[in-house]
Homo-oligomer: A and B are copies of this chain.
């Protein structure tokens, strides 16, 4: 009975992509650990760009800095 939480930046993830993440993650847990799909939860959280930090900067600032280096 696994629970998987996937956090990604909110940048236009489509319903099809979400369905693919859910299916792929569930298949993985079935294949690797023999878990049952019916008790496998996958929860996707989309996080606004300004709420996600990396390298000490919000994502937008981090990408701008990285593209200059």
Chain B residue at smallest Cβ distance from A3: B7
What is the total number of copies of this protein in its complex? 6
For A17-61 the 0/1 string (1 means CB < 8 A from B) is 111111111111101110101111111111100111111111101
Whole-angstrom distance from the CB of A31 to the nearest CB of chain B?
8
A5 within 8 A of B: yes
Residues of A within 8 A of B (CB): 1-9, 13, 15, 17-29, 31-33, 35, 37-47, 50-59, 61
14 pairs, CB–CB < 8 Å, chain A vs chain B: A3-B6, A3-B43, A5-B7, A19-B53, A19-B58, A22-B57, A23-B53, A23-B56, A24-B31, A42-B52, A42-B53, A43-B51, A44-B51, A46-B51
